[in-house]
Amino acid sequence: MNYPVWEVPKLGGAWVIGIVSIFHVLIAWFAVGGGLYLPMAESKLYREKREDWLPVLMKHSRFFLVLTSIFGAVSGVGIWFSIGLVHPEATSTLIHNFVFGWAIEWVFFVVELAAAAVYYYTWNRIPRELHLKVGYLYAIASLLTLVIINGILSFMLTPGRAWLDVAGTGTEASRFWWAFFNPTYFPSLIMRILACLSLAGIYALITYSRSDEEALAKSRIHMVRWTAGWLAPMFLLMPLTLLWFLHQIPSENRGLLELGMNTIGSGAFTQVTRIAMLTIITTLTIAGVVYLFAYKWPRDLSLGHSIALLGLAVIATASTEYARETVRKPYVISAHMYSNGVRKRDVARINAEGYLSRSIWTPVTSNTVTLGHQVFRGQCMSCHTVGGYRAMTQLLQGRDRKAIGQLLATLHDPPKDSMYRKYMPPLVGKQDEIDALGDYLATISVKPAEAPLKLAPTPAAPTPAPVAPTAPTAAATPDKKVTLR
């Protein structure tokens, strides 16, 4: 526990990241796809001399600027805030390995923001050819931000053997390009670009469905139909790209999908299969609605239909991101760092030296339930809560202390054929720490009237400041181990 733990009751920290990320992705992907859609639509209007539709496109560009520049930027900061609190170890690893990439991405982002503002505020103020160039400049800058971010995100699933060979040596940055252009980089990039273009079309349909003036009826039908044609290639190419992506991920990650399929309806990992099926169903539904109400009968496209399409896109995006995160289990950075921040290479050392022994955030106490709570917060709370999402009270199913001890022994040293190996990090620490965790879990597993132990009040953790040699403490001195009594 090199960092303090951020406890989010009921919801859990992972879902805080998930909610902020889904909100941000729906805007950020629109920023990329819409950045190409706008100048292409503008060019089409000039070419076909549909001047009557120009005010509608200008209105769409204002909506685009406000949504992407304000809400997109704020939610992007929200992602940094949430991942830094929930997964500080993983965030630190990404920053140390990709600081050069982050810097480049921010340069492109600044160009993107400036170009978006210039594009909107110079309608009919500069020559049309120059205005189109500004639009395409924005499109290129926003695409390049995705190119950079995709390398970092795909790295977390497939860091690549070249990077893993030097992980922990201090020379990881020397494998920057191997880590960046990792095995799933290109299929992930193509899938994200297709998703960006799809969202651009859906957001455009929302704007067009609000423009119901009779004088614009003919142009409206034409633009709605053109947008439906814009969306068609996305539905055709996405399944092929998905198959390419699945082929590139390691077999153990595909094994989680297979486990969910083999145990669907009753297995412990069946939710990933259900979520994947939800992605397929919503995508097919979007395709059907676009064909019927945007291509076949564009005159009947209403604002309700367009908002329903966006709702389906939210479900499809959330489901896809959930499935992508799930197949990475039990890691947050595959084959390197487990989802609770413990590095794979450190497991043996922590088992020998102890999990809490070097933690400056551990309270000085001999109460085993309190110390077990600290182990729970550090190793379990990245995925579980006490009584909310993935609640331990439900998962323990009323086990007594002996049964809990047997479960923890299995998690500490799972057999090679154990299902737990596929999606749960190993429980690490010395035996007395594991026993302390068992004591804590017993207090939340049994009914309150039967609880044998109570959680003692936790004293405030001391500030990790230098301590005089004459008065060392277990919490403030890194070499002094916490003794569990």
Closest listed residue to residue 161, CA positions, set 141, 145, 181: 181
Closest listed residue to residue 482, CA positions, set 387, 363, 390, 401: 363
Do 308 and 384 lie in one domain? The reply is no
Q: Which residues, other chains included, contact 433 with Cβ-Cβ below 8 Å and sequence gap of 6+?
A: 354, 355, 356, 371, 372, 375, 484
pLDDT one-digit tens code per residue, 338-371: 999 999 999 999 999 999 988 888 888 889 999 9
Polymer length of the chain: 485
User: CA-to-CA distance for 293 and 288, rounded, in angstroms?
Assistant: 8
Q: Which range marks the domain in which residue 171 is found? A: 13-338
User: CA-to-CA distance for 96 and 21, rounded, in angstroms?
Assistant: 22
pLDDT one-digit tens code per residue, 247-283: 898 888 777 776 666 666 555 556 777 777 888 889 8
What pLDDT is recorded for position 103? 93
Confirm whether 6 is domain-assigned.
no
Q: How much is the average pLDDT of 286-315?
A: 91
3-class state of residue 219 by DSSP: helix
Q: Average model confidence (pLDDT) for the chain?
A: 86
User: CA-to-CA distance for 69 and 30, rounded, in angstroms?
Assistant: 11
φ/ψ of residue 391, rounded to 5: -65, 135
Do 244 and 379 lie in one domain? The reply is no
Q: How much is the average pLDDT of 383-407?
A: 91
Do 298 and 373 lie in one domain? The reply is no
What pLDDT is recorded for position 68? 93
- How far CA 127 is from CA of 119, 124, 133, 392, in Å, comes to 12, 7, 10, 63
Give the end of a domain, one of 338, 360, 379: 338
Q: How much is the average pLDDT of 15-24?
A: 92
Give residue 56's identity as a one-letter amino acid code. Answer: V
φ/ψ of residue 362, rounded to 5: -85, 125
Give the end of a domain, one of 338, 362, 388: 338
Do 126 and 189 lie in one domain? The reply is yes
Burial 192-211 (b: 16+ CB within 10 A, else e): bbbbbbbbbbbbbbbbbbeb
- Residues 461 and 378 sit within 8 Å (Cβ to Cβ): no
Percent of the chain with pLDDT over 70: 88
Do 328 and 417 lie in one domain? The reply is no
Q: How much is the average pLDDT of 135-146?
A: 97
Do 64 and 197 lie in one domain? The reply is yes
Give the end of a domain, one of 273, 304, 338: 338
Q: What is the DSSP string of 345-402?
A: GGHHHHHHH-SSTT-TTS-----HHHHHHHHHHHHTTTT-BSSSTTBHHHHHTT--HH
Q: How much is the average pLDDT of 98-117?
A: 94
CATH of the domain at 354: 1.10.760
What pLDDT is recorded for position 274? 75
User: CA-to-CA distance for 1 and 342, rounded, in angstroms?
Assistant: 9
- Whether the per-residue pLDDT at 46 is higher than 90: the answer is yes
pLDDT one-digit tens code per residue, 428-483: 999 999 999 999 999 998 654 444 445 545 444 444 444 444 444 333 333 333 33
What pLDDT is recorded for position 261? 62
- Residues 97 and 179 sit within 8 Å (Cβ to Cβ): yes
- Whether the per-residue pLDDT at 425 is higher than 90: the answer is yes
Domain count, the chain: 2
User: CA-to-CA distance for 45 and 342, rounded, in angstroms?
Assistant: 56
User: CA-to-CA distance for 72 and 294, rounded, in angstroms?
Assistant: 27
Closest listed residue to residue 116, CA positions, set 53, 55, 46, 61: 61
pLDDT one-digit tens code per residue, 155-207: 999 999 999 999 988 888 889 999 999 999 999 999 999 999 999 999 999 99
Confirm whether 477 is domain-assigned.
no
Do 286 and 431 lie in one domain? The reply is no
What pLDDT is recorded for position 478? 37
Do 327 and 376 lie in one domain? The reply is no
Do 149 and 295 lie in one domain? The reply is yes
User: CA-to-CA distance for 454 and 176, rounded, in angstroms?
Assistant: 49
Q: Is the dihedral of CA 252, 255, 257, 260 positive or negative?
A: negative
pLDDT one-digit tens code per residue, 49-101: 888 889 999 999 999 999 999 999 899 999 999 999 999 999 999 999 999 99
**Which helix (H) or strand (E) element contains residue 337?**
strand 337-338
Question: Minimum mean pLDDT among 32-36, 69-73, 119-123: which range?
Answer: 69-73
- Residues 252 and 59 sit within 8 Å (Cβ to Cβ): no
Percent of the chain with pLDDT over 90: 60
Half-sphere exposure of residue 151, counting CA atoms within 13 Å on the CB side? 20
What pLDDT is recorded for position 423? 81
Q: How much is the average pLDDT of 107-113?
A: 95
Do 318 and 364 lie in one domain? The reply is no
Residue 52, both tokens:
């009557």
Confirm whether 473 is domain-assigned.
no
